[in-house]
A and B are shown apart, each in its own frame.
Chain A
Amino acid sequence: MMSPMQDEITAAIATDLGITELPIDTQKELISQFGEVALKAATLSVIGKLAEEKRAEFATLAEAGDAMALKTFLDREVPDHEEIAKAAVAEEIKRFKEFQAEGTDKRSNK
């Protein structure tokens, strides 16, 4: 069971995604699903900037679960990785919201 604070976080993310009108459990489920998309999109955008020979090193560090080592690595190899990832996530949010809006519009035009 989530704490009220975690529910607040859920609500904040739901607002970002435009799914606040949905039941809370559905919101969490969609956030979970969208999180995977965001994670993959952000990761792919960063990996895409890495030289091929560095990608294996990135994967190894990521799988080892050492955030600091990974951060240090990315700071060195892709100095603007945070901005790149942010842009990728923002793009996914935009895409998701547009899709939501399209779904609503289609229904309205029926």
Chain B
Amino acid sequence: MDNEGPKNIIKEVSDSMPQQPQSPPDADALMASWEERLKDPALTSEEIEKILIEIDDTESLWSHTEKGKEVNNTPAVNATQTAELEKKSDGAADAANLPKVGEKVEEEDDLNKLFSEEPLQVTKEPTPQSGSVPEEDDLNELFSDFALEQSPEEKKISDMFIELSEIYGYAIPEDVKIDFDGCVFNLKNCDADLKERFTTRLEAFVAEQREKMEKREPSEEIKPPVEPEQPQKEEREGEDTTKERKEKLGDVVDDLEKATREENERKTKLAEEETSRRSEEIDAEAEKMGGVVEKFFRWTGEKYNKLSTREKIGTGLALGLGAGGLMAVSVPVALVFCGGIWVQRVAGAASTFMKYENATLPHDEERKDTFWKWGAKEKAMAKTMGISAAATIGMLVLAEGVEKGVEWLHHYWPDHTEISADAPTAPAQPAAAAAAGESATVASAPEMPAVYAHASPGHGYEYMLKRLWEQLHDNKQLDPSKYAEGSDIHKLLTADAASIDTVVHQIASDSGHGFFNADGTSVQINLDDHIFIAPDGQVHMSHEFYNSGPVQAPENAPVTPAYPPETAPAAPEITPPVGEAATDHLSNKIYSEGSNPSVLHGSADYPLESHTPPIEEFQPDKVTFSHDEVHTRIFPEDGNQEREVLESIKTYADDYTELTVSEDGRILERFMVDPEGHTSRYTGGDTFVPASEDQTADVKNAIEHAHRDEISAPQPEAPAHAQEIIQQSGSGEVIQEHADGIVVNQSGLKIPTDKPHFYAGADDKHIFAYGGGSAEEKLKAIKEFLTQNLDKTVYSADANGEHRIPWHITPQGELVGVPEKTGGIFGWFKSFVKPPEPNEFVKLIK
């Protein structure tokens, strides 16, 4: 076979290929150069990395060069085509084929031009296609690693490749991976914009090629090759083959990788040693301070070590790491991270932020841009949380699911934008203007001081406003003249001790604030709420559930009835909300029945100026009369080793009880029980939902257990009867135990303790066995009872008096029973049910 013709043709093609390197690199020289450079012991990691990149780049070039070389030696047409060419006389075949191939090359040029604005690089070596003509080879190379995706957009691109295949007359592989705009075009990693641009350009290219094809004569079409021809290798004597060169290069790369790895290990070890040494050094400094500081640092270290890597990074972020030293630092937030109880606070604060942001963000695009740039958003968030904006970002981003924070960070983090304390914010504006829906004008305005007043039992708006006033006046740097007249901050700053009562009343009753409504109702204040000075200079109230509108109190917030001054409550009043919105609200909040321990009467200190506030000054010891902590073992359902949690029970003076379950300082669960025994579970923010039956039982048990063991409430006075003993029952109720062994429970039922007796519970379904000298004696009585009542179950204490056993009789007459367990809280919190106690008994059965 005469290869001359095809070779000539291929030569033409090769010369026409714009992607072919003009002069192949001297592999040996490069090898020698790299080896020499790598011998330098002073090479830094960065320099090694550069060499590696250089090698990679050159290897790619090499590959391409070799490809071109193979092409030069590869017959471009198959045997059939060759035969057809040979049939042509006087070299007409060459002449006939040259323009044809030239056209083909032109098409390839077009393909290259398609991506010419951005360098087109094949990211992986192509798989040789059997029977390829050179043009096809190059296209295959282009498309060979495309990871075909099935999304609509990717399908569209794939279809266009098929169209290209039709144009070129042979199948283009459907799996292509190319570099485009610096993105490896496997589509998964490309953003929508990049895909869109690629698709647009590809569409134009396909259309252009199709147009060309339509204009082309049918005889000019290149028929697909039928059989492949093996490439011929042209190797020079005494020189390394391509394979050998690659092997050498591989060795160099391996050595480099090893050197890099070792260097990294060395640097890591040194850094670890340094941080450890420095940490000990700081600990030693803390020890010198002694006492509280030393203890606190030990606590800090222990807590920090228990954090996850994500939380540790969050701690660092809160301390300003990662922002080039530009961001503010928040030790308080870092310590909160350290304490590990930040998640709920972040969730609540983020919710508040979003509502606040909605209220203050300008709606037209132009002003919105300005708003973003000027950092009002950051400041709004920071103020909402009362901490530095940098720390806020960290907390938001690192708290899973706080999408807003992530979006926010997308805007700001890449440039390490400083959240400057001097960033302008929305100026103060009168409440009336705000109420009219006017967006805050973004202009230079003074920094608003971070002052907050949290809700507390028994207090309303005026009390909270007074706390703001105190904090504002604690800061001697604040100059009232810097704030807009008529703004709340101006009013508070200019008020003195004589006028503050009037001022806070005016602010609280200002209809623009929305705290009080015309019908006399007032927006309720929840325990988790707080008021603060917003960037507009007005007092705002946080409320997790309702969109903050232009008024300071959230719109549609539940309200409490109008305050009747004549019948002022003598204690913090728990009032059910009124109105439809309030009903909807409470269905998702604490106590759907309307008894809400965390909802305070909004008007508790509302009475007009002439009235004396009916509530005494807040006294913590009047709110909480006991606070018990009990360590409890839990039994994970997954069979893992049992763990110990801390149950913290706070009992409030209004008979509401709060149970917090924590482990290693992390709050796992929080429940609130109202005086009627309704139990609600805290789900974040200020949200409580009704607890399940099992949870209710668990909470009841936990509270009873705590009260029985560690009750710290003042004991009632002993009765006059000297022989009576007062004891606290598990439910906290007082029962009397007489010297003759008779116990009188809260229902007045007399319960003998010397012999086993049977009692019915409040629901008539439970039968209890209680009393008796020994376990055998009690079991004997139970068996006797159940033999006569085969379908019944009797509950009694186990032999140790620790657990509750439900006993029943089998058909074979055997008495069986296993300790009863609770259903568990969120799947893993299980505990044994406590044994029956006298206050559960309603009547004597036997």
Contacts and interface: CB of A to CB of B under 8 A. Distances in A.
Indicate whether A and B interact.
Answer: yes
Given A12-B416, A107-B41, A30 B272 contact: yes
Given A6-B398, A13-B317, A108-B42, A37 B282 contact: yes
Given A39-B338, A56-B292, A76-B474, A31 B316 contact: yes
Given A44-B282, A110-B41, A34 B329 contact: no
Contacts of A16: 321-325
B46 A21 contact: yes
Contact of A63 (B49, B299, B454): B299
Max chain A Cβ within 10 angstroms of own Cβ: one of B301, B324, B331: B331
A18 B280 CA distance: 22
Given A39-B304, A71-B387, A21 B49 contact: yes
A30 B279 CA distance: 13
Contacts, number: 247
Chain A interface residue number, banded: 35 or more
A21 B340 CA distance: 31
B339 A100 contact: no
A30 B271 contact: yes
A12 B275 contact: no
Given A37-B275, A37-B279, A38-B321, A23 B264 contact: yes
A13 B322 contact: yes
Given A13-B321, A22-B267, A8 B413 contact: yes
A17 B321 contact: yes
A93 B330 CA distance: 16
B270 A103 contact: yes
Interface SS, A side? helix
A75 B276 CA distance: 31
Given A65-B342, A108-B41, A74 B331 contact: yes
A103 B271 CA distance: 9
Contacts of A74: 331-332
A59 B295 contact: yes
- Is the contact region of chain B dominated by helix, strand, or loop, or is it mixed? helix
A96 B275 contact: yes
| Interface size of B as a range | 35 or more
B206 to A, nearest CB: 33
Interface stretch (B20-28, B239-247, B283-291, B751-759): B283-291
Contacts of A15: 322, 324
B452 A35 contact: no
Given A5-B410, A6-B397, A108-B44, A40 B283 contact: yes
B406 interface: yes
B313 A5 contact: no
A87 B394 CA distance: 19
Contact of A67 (B317, B322, B386, B414): B386
B297 A40 contact: yes
Interface of B: 41-42, 44-46, 49, 263-264, 266-268, 270-272, 274-276, 278-279, 282-283, 285-286, 289, 291-293, 295-297, 299-301, 304-305, 309-310, 312-313, 315-317, 319-325, 328-336, 338-342, 345, 385-388, 394, 397-398, 406, 409-410, 413-414, 416, 450, 452, 454, 471, 474-475, 530, 665
A-B CB proximity, top 6 nearest: A13-B322, A12-B322, A35-B316, A70-B332, A108-B42, A65-B339
12 contacts: A10-B313, A12-B323, A12-B413, A21-B264, A29-B309, A39-B331, A70-B335, A71-B387, A82-B331, A89-B321, A96-B271, A100-B271
